[in-house]
Amino acid sequence: QVHVVETGGGWVQPGGSLRLSCAASGLLSSGSPMDWYRQGPGKEREWVAGVSRIHEHTNYADSVKGRFIISREHGKNVMYLQMNNLKSEDTAVYYCNAKDFGGVDYWGKGTHVTVST
């Protein structure tokens, strides 16, 4: 019933940019809080950035602050992550998380981002 799908991953050279998208469907809320997470090779999954529901406040992990920009379509469960000045350390599977009423959250299957020469 609920589907969360990430798109936009791929390969990019260091210093390059990518734009990820996430679309969540089937949620009771039409404007759920949404977050990006990532898991690099041999690493634990970590939180990257989030955007709130109403005021669309944004927050970032220190590792991506100043380089990544999170945004969403107003009142919709669609979210983006503009990734600039990518580094090799950003190589990871990026996951979208969307929260529904009742505190239930849903995850996408992830999209791969590889940053290398």
Q: What is the pLDDT along the chain (117 residues), one digit of tens a residue?
A: 899 999 999 999 999 999 999 999 999 888 889 999 999 999 999 999 999 887 889 999 999 999 999 999 988 999 999 999 999 999 999 999 999 988 899 999 999 999 999
C-alpha distances in angstroms, 71 versus 40, 42, 51? Answer: 22, 28, 7
Pair 51, 34: CB distance under 8 Å: yes
> What does the pLDDT read at residue 44?
97
Instruction: Take residue 9 and report the two structure tokens written for it.
Output: 């991953």
